[in-house]
Chain A
Amino acid sequence: MKQLEINNLQKKFDDFEAVKKITFSIAANQTVALLGPNGCGKTTTIAMILGLITPTSGSITINHQLLTKDHHYLSKMNFASPYVELPKKLKVIENLKVYAMMYEVANAKAKIEQLVEELNLAPILYKKTGELSSGQRNRVSLAKALINDPEILLLDEPTASLDPDTGDFIRTFLETYKKKNSMAILLASHNMDEVTRLSDYVLMMKEGSIIDEGTATDLIKKHGRQDLEEVFLKLARQHEN
């Protein structure tokens, strides 16, 4: 079943076409990676799905319901990015309580306890969020993103600037969590190993268009390269002088 369907989605900023009528879908329990060089339209695409940017044309369908002005769908979606922070002056537990309330989580206490255990947040629960290391902050940000048991989770570089150990912890957690909870994930990342490990399907974007797509293995085979990073480099440098 398709959880998220993007159809001919386009965004123009005056004369500049940031996203050029792209079409893709994500099924329940599927992880789709959105790859591409900086400025290729990944963030704009994610922002349109999150309702932060109004598309110029095209449609976004969630669970067969067209995304309209009604924000009801936002309660079933969430987002985590190291570039979007939680209030630094609030303790971790306070941030989780605030967002559990904001998303009207039915049994907030139990949900927070579950996430605290799974993401190993107990030692930092009563620390101010601004006092945490980047790895700890990423874990808290992920806890906030999962507080409402989202049906669709959008992740923007979830392990950016993390040491290999913390990065691996996050990836393992995401794999385990997805196995237990049916959830569609859209992952934007520049870490090709991460994409290969976590994603079921890869979309390659360049200059606002999807220029290639397939499983990581298929793309590597199709382009005759050793790994996804080489595929990325080939596609990113195509048509460049």
Chain B
Amino acid sequence: MKIKRILSLMLRHFYLIKASLPRIIDLIYWPTVQIILWGFISKFFTMHSTYFNNTVGIILSAAILYDFLFRSSISYNMLFLEEIWSRNLINLFISPLKVGEIVIALTCTALLRTLIGLVPAVLIAIPLFGISLLELGYPLILLLLSLYIFGITLGLLVTSGLVRFGPSFENIAWASLFFIAPIGCIYYPVEILPTWLQPVALALPLAHIFEETRSILINHTINYSNIYYALMLNVVYLGVALLTFCQSFKSAKVKGSLINVGE
């Protein structure tokens, strides 16, 4: 594992981002619109029912956290897709870069892309809706960490599909998070789901992360078991994703599909 090689791939994506203002605007635009939209929807609920008194804080915090997950995963996929679109993958695969170095470089760069998009949106929510993620206290760090790991896990799984099946897998890359969102219990508690679906939801870190977010915001109590379960599940899923990525890379080399990934 060589830090210089990891930095070289990060530098390639840094050059790409800094050279294009539309690219930077695109990174910031979507999370900001998303948060403003959810902010107004939540405000509307609050004004029309006492039941929804604390809704703005809960829904908006959930929206911000979900967007953090969404951005991390999409950023990861985007970085890989950029290489496919620019027909540069072969140059990377024939370089001394190891698979682990590619994964680390993409993981770090995805975080940079995610923060570029999300920090302005989070800052806008403070004056506009009086909501600050910092209200979640120090567990926020663990929740963000959990979300980031899960985002990268999904990114790795989609990237495995791209390596194995080529750009035809691109649509799955965009849709991957929408598949999981309904059982992620982002905006509602797990109990809302049909009984048979609840174990499936609880097998995902998302349900635990968002249950914990609501617990902190509504009850002002920290339930460490939720955080613990989320992190443990993340370790398992990340392990599976890494194995899948390595396996798909190996399989693509046997099938000869690596040389056609960009076509």
Contact = CB atoms under 8 A, between A and B. Distances in A.
Answer yes or no: are A and B bound together in one complex: yes
Interface of A: 11, 13, 18, 43-44, 47, 50-54, 71-72, 74-75, 77-79, 83-91, 94, 97-99, 101-104, 128, 144
Nearest to B93: A52
Given A53-B258, A101-B8, A104-B96, 10 more contacts: A18-B256, A47-B256, A53-B253, A74-B96, A77-B94, A86-B91, A87-B82, A88-B86, A98-B8, A102-B96
For A84, A97, A98, A102, the residue with the greatest tally of chain B CB atoms inside 10 Å of its CB is A102
A185 B91 CA distance: 18
A52 B254 CA distance: 9
A119 B187 CA distance: 59
- Interface of B, secondary structure class, is helix
B20 to A, nearest CB: 7
Interface in B21-77: none
B123 to A, nearest CB: 28
Contacts of B126: none
Interface residues of B toward A: which range? 20 to 34
Contacts of B19: 89-91, 128
Nearest to A104: B4
Contacts of A13: 255-256
A79 B20 contact: no
Interface of B: 2, 4-5, 7-9, 11-12, 15-16, 19-20, 82-83, 86-88, 90-91, 93-98, 250, 253-256, 258-259
Contacts of B86: 85-89
A71 B12 contact: no
A87 B12 contact: yes
A86 B254 contact: no
A102 B90 CA distance: 14
A50 B11 contact: no
Contacts, number: 100
A102 B97 contact: yes
Contacts of A84: 87-88, 90-91
B256 A102 contact: no
Contact of B5 (A78, A90, A97, A102): A102
Give the top 3 A-B pairs by smallest Cβ distance, nearest first: A101-B8, A102-B8, A75-B96
Contacts of B258: 47, 52-53
Contacts of A99: 8, 91, 95
A140 to B, nearest CB: 12
Nearest to B263: A83
Contact of B2 (A54, A86, A104): A104
A35 B149 CA distance: 49
Given A53-B259, A101-B4, A101-B8, A89 B16 contact: yes
A97 B11 contact: yes
Contacts of A51: 93-94, 253
Nearest to B2: A104
A4 to B, nearest CB: 15
19 contacts: A52-B259, A53-B253, A74-B94, A79-B91, A83-B87, A84-B90, A85-B86, A87-B16, A89-B15, A91-B15, A91-B19, A98-B15, A99-B95, A101-B11, A102-B9, A102-B95, A103-B95, A104-B4, A104-B5
